[in-house]
Structure 1
């Protein structure tokens, strides 16, 4: 099994990841009802490839505000710690089923960092 080396590898990863998300009724509603990504999935996958390519391969080009995008989703439908756990589970599985190596481990570590930071920002947005 090869490591993540190209944007094509990243596309394979995010495509597999979203197949898992859409198949899991515990989280799929976020992507079909709250923010209907399924209506423009290919465009969304390309944005994700650009994001992960910048983060893992150092290519640059991602200009969206990842944190604000998730804060906006949270306003529409609470992004709970359980949802982040499901998200990470499917992300890790997608990586582990397709890739092995330094970049594969790096992307999993970065996904955990992102999930942690987003949960902190969401908690700050929604003080109890």
Structure 2
């Protein structure tokens, strides 16, 4: 059976809710997210809806800087790998098509970029300007 592609903000909400539901239960990254977002999950999910709506549907609803909130988290390469694996599994379980593929591509690029930025910040002798 063919799956639909990501086409609407409701599709984005299903993706985000399903993904972060999995993240919250994950033994590796769940504790990091749950500690940081305790009591703030609804606001975080709403922000993620607008982020992915802007990225995937070209509907400019997100205003923010996605990297700074992650800069102080105790995350390493294995955390990014798990995040990306769970994200790709969620996309694949729910959708297929060009926008679903774009979601996975953007997730991969974002994870790689965040890792590079974190490595640079951690190796720099100067405090970050974030």
TM-score of the pair, normalised by structure 1: 0.91
1:88 equivalent to 2:90? Answer no
1:67 deviates by 1.4
1:38 deviates by 4.1
Q: Which aligned pairs between 1:99-110 and structure 2 lie closer than 5 A?
A: 99-110=95-106
Residue 67 of structure 2: SS of its match in structure 1?
A: helix
1:61 deviates by 2.1
Equivalent residue, structure 1, for 2:63:
63
Inter-partner Cα distance in structure 1 for 2:52 and 2:114 = 16
Inter-partner Cα distance in structure 2 for 1:61 and 1:102 = 21
Unaligned runs of 5+ in 2: 125-130
Inter-partner Cα distance in structure 1 for 2:82 and 2:38 = 19
Equivalent residue, structure 1, for 2:49:
49
Inter-partner Cα distance in structure 2 for 1:127 and 1:40 = 31
Q: Which aligned pairs between 1:1-128 and structure 2 lie closer than 5 A?
A: 1-33=3-35, 35=36, 37-71=37-71, 73-74=72-73, 77=74, 79-127=75-123
Unaligned runs of 5+ in 1: none
List structure 1 segments (4+ residues) > 3 angstroms apart after TM superposition: none
Normalized per residue, which structure has more helix?
1
Measured on the aligned residues, the alpha-carbon RMSD in Å equals 1.2
**Which one has a bigger Cα radius of gyration?**
2
Residue 63 of structure 1: SS of its match in structure 2?
A: coil
Aligned positions, number: 122
Inter-partner Cα distance in structure 2 for 1:50 and 1:57 = 10
Inter-partner Cα distance in structure 1 for 2:14 and 2:30 = 19
Distance 1:95 1:38, change over 3 A: farther
Inter-partner Cα distance in structure 1 for 2:93 and 2:99 = 14
1:22-57: CA deviation from partner (whole Å, max 9, x where unpaired): 111111111122x1x241222211110100010110
